[in-house]
Amino acid sequence: KKDTLILAIESSCDETAASVVKNGREILSNIISSQIALHTLYGGVVPEIASRKHIEKINQVIEEALKQAQVTLEDIDAVGVTYGPGLVGALLVGVAEAKAIAYAAKKPLVGVHHIEGHIAANYIEHPDLEPPFLCLVVSGGHTHLVHVEDYGKFKIIGRTRDDAAGEAFDKVARAIGLGYPGGPKIDKVSREGNPEAIVFPRAHIEEAPYDFSFSGVKSAVLNYINGCKMKGEEYSQADIAASFQKAVTDVLVGNAMHAVEEYGDRKFAIAGGVASNSALRAAMAEACKEKGVEFYYPSPIYCTDNAAMIGVAAYYEFMNGTRHGWDLNAVPNLKL
Ligand code: KG4
Ligand code: ZN
């Protein structure tokens, strides 16, 4: 039987990425051109700059992905691309590129939901993982507790009411002077801090036990810092980081394990940029072990935005018969 090759493109935020994926789970190449250094100058992602950088980099990134995989466009079976959610101008670059390639090379076009990609990142290094399972998607833009019923079939059972988990990390990092991107920096300095030093609030939503809220803990950190400044007291960056991280982790683990119990799944996965957080991984691993549930997580390179995960999701969509027309557009608030 002939292999199925997907060329995948991802440009929803600040990474320009392309990948070639073989038979759904084998990554032949995974090229990522990160704009982080550029956006660091502004303390966060500047959408206009992201779009401009994508258009500059995208052809090189795709060329490199094909070259490293040792394939040509002719060998490709379909072109997969993230068409939402994300920054509209950033998404448009990838979508226009994918459409142009698919049209010129006469290949089918498969649009992919960014979150479906994050979840699919778990398939790459876990050949045994198949739906159904529960997945917590925690990134800069999303905090979703998802029941993965089948390939391409999802049920969202919980979501954030306000800030995404990664967004809270980024905002708190900025407030305590760690800069952008905040998640990895908080992760690092927390190792020198005491997670029990300050008690920040853990939000529980009575009528929706799987939903999240992180604006309260973020405000509590800001109030704590302002309080210290007004009193002229020193504060410990490491203790704040560790205590904040612990508060967020407690809520993520608590809601996730509650869902594991309620839904009876024996498999639990995490995905998205925040899934590379070391404290979250450790706490989830322990909680899953206690419950006798198999715990899955991707390597950090497949947690943050990349095109390999989009290629994996595109493969399953392609096999399920998903095809998009030449009218495919970027959908910034695309629903799962
Ligand atoms: O998945 P991703 O690359 O982009 C989105 O789809 O949003 O996630 C980026 C987010 C950022 O908020 C970043 O601060 C966070 O993931 N992040 C982390 C860590 N690494 C990245 N948060 C906590 N700990 C980390 N180690
Ligand atoms: Zn993402």
Which band of pLDDT confidence, cut at 50, 70 and 90, is reported for residue 181?
confident
Q: Which residues contact 147 (CB under 8 A, 6 or more apart)?
A: 132, 134, 135, 154, 155, 156, 157, 259, 263, 265
- Extended beta strands in 115-261, E state: 133-138, 143-150, 153-159
pLDDT of residue 43: 86
Phi-psi region of 84 (alpha: psi -120 to 50; beta: other; left: phi over 0): left
DSSP state of 288: H
Section 245-254 average pLDDT:
98
pLDDT computed for residue 112 by the predictor: 98
Q: With a 6 A CB cut-off, is 249 part of the ligand 1 pocket? A: no
Q: Could you tell me the distance, in angstroms and rounded to a whole number, from the CA of residue 229 to the centre of ligand 2?
A: 35
| DSSP secondary structure letter of residue 85 | S
Q: How far is C-alpha 311 from the chain's CA centre?
A: 15
Residue range 124-150: mean pLDDT, rounded? 97
Cis peptide before 132 (omega within 30 of 0): yes
Predicted local distance difference test score (pLDDT) of residue 66? 98
Tell whether residue 138 is among the known ligand binding residues: yes
Q: Which atom of ligand 1 is nearest to the CA of 245?
A: 23
Candidate from 33, 139, 333 with most ligand 1 atoms within 8 A of CB, to mutate: 139
What the chain holds in terms of domains, given with CATH numbers, is 5-119+303-319 (3.30.420.40), 131-297 (3.30.420.40)
Question: Does the Cβ of 273 fall within 6 Å of ligand 1?
Answer: yes
Q: Do 326 and 83 form a contact (C-beta atoms < 8 A)? A: no
pLDDT, average across residues 144-164: 97
> What pLDDT digit, counting tens, does each position of 105-130 carry?
999 999 999 999 999 999 999 999 99
What local confidence, expressed as pLDDT, does residue 44 receive? Answer: 87
Pocket test for ligand 1, best of 188, 301, 304 (most atoms within 8 A of CB): 304
The pLDDT value given to residue 180: 85
Which residues is 15 bridged to in the sheet? 34
Question: Does 93 carry a binding-site annotation?
Answer: no
| Closest ligand 1 atom to 303 CA | 1
Q: Which ligand is nearest to the CA of 170?
A: 1
What is the number of the ligand closest to the CA of 166? 1
CA–centroid distance, residue 116 to ligand 2 (Å): 10
Amino acid 41: pLDDT: 87
Give the orientation angle of helix 278-291 with respect to helix 237-263, to 10 degrees. Answer: 30
Res 307: pLDDT: 98
187 is in an annotated binding site: yes
For residues 67 and 282, give the distance between their C-alpha atoms in angstroms, rounded to a whole number: 37
- Given a cut of 90, whether residue 259 has pLDDT beyond it is yes
CA of 273 to the centre of ligand 1 (A): 3
Question: Which among 33, 40, 81 has a CA at the least distance from the CA of 57?
Answer: 33
Q: What pLDDT digit, counting tens, does each position of 63-117 carry? A: 999 999 999 999 999 999 999 999 999 999 999 999 999 999 999 999 999 999 9
Q: Which atom of ligand 1 is nearest to the CA of 272?
A: 1
305 in ligand 1 pocket by Cβ < 6 Å? yes
3-state helix, strand, coil in the chain (%, to 5): 45, 20, 35
Q: Which ligand is nearest to the CA of 183?
A: 1
Measured in Å, residue 226 CA sits from the centre of ligand 2 at 32
Q: What is the value of pTM for the model shown? A: 0.97
The two most distant CA atoms of the chain are separated, in Å, by: 72
Q: Which tens digits make up the pLDDT trace of 278-302?
A: 999 999 999 999 999 999 999 999 9
State whether the beta carbon of 111 lies less than 6 angstroms from ligand 1. Answer: no
Q: Which of 16, 169, 180 has most ligand 1 atoms within 8 Å of CB, for mutation?
A: 169
| pLDDT beyond 90 at 226 | yes
Instruction: Quote the pLDDT of residue 169.
Output: 97
Instruction: Kindly identify the ligand whose nearest atom is closest to the C-alpha of 138.
Output: 1
Position in ligand 1 atom list of the atom nearest CA 12: 6
Is the CB of 183 within 6 Å of ligand 1?
Answer: yes
Compute, in angstroms, the gap from residue 83 CA to the centroid of ligand 2: 12
